[in-house]
Structure 1
Amino acid sequence: MASLFLLATVGTTLAFTNLVKGIAIRLRPNNNPDLIEIIRILQEPTNYSFFSGHASTSFAAVTFIVLVLKEKSAWIFLAYIWPLIFVLSRIFVGVHYPSDIFVGAFVGVIMAFIFFWVYQRSGKRFAL
């Protein structure tokens, strides 16, 4: 059951992220004419930047997993290394501003807490 809630967490977070990107319409650093000359461009996606879908979904997934498994393993918090490295790479390749990453991570964590709260109230607490 936890796996279904994990999928719902990530799916809802991704849908919300894409909704906000369509409203905010913020150019990525690699598409911003003012920045092209001063940043290293390794990737060239053409959709919008704010906020990072990689940050929101990876932090949502890891936070939900940590919340489910924190009583079973004290080491589960090391799982946050993965999204931290993952989101920093998005800045490195020139496709996100730091604020995109911070907001995306915040949204992902909040979504995970909301879905974990619903998961706990569902009465079906099974391991991943």
Structure 2
Amino acid sequence: MQVEVVAGRAEKLPLEDDGFDVAVLSLVLCTFADVPGALAEARRVLKPGGKLLFYGTSAPSGPASAVQKALALPWRLIGGGCHLTRDTERAIQEAGFTVEDIRRFLLRDQRPSQPPPSPSIIGTGRATT
């Protein structure tokens, strides 16, 4: 398999329309300033019915919610711009993808310098036609 790396930004991909079967977004949706724009570009470059594979943080709920909300601003400053409270699943759906399967879990890191467990999601979406 041949791989070509092309410089660009998620919000303006230098790629043709309907040219790809799969797009992968892994631990990046929390950092984009323009999430709808990045997802619209992923949808644009996918063939009709193309697949979106995603993994990232998600809006907190339950007992972790208050802690995640309190950490949101400091974590954005030290965590590469990551928004801990962004509703990633909703953003994907609003961008025209049908979420076909999704798994929710708490990402845990045992190092003391890491934040408390982070609500995360991993799944597959399909570009709606």
Structure with greater proportional strand content: 2
Q: Which has the higher contact order (CA 8 A, sep 6+)?
A: 1
**Bigger fraction of residues in helix:** 1
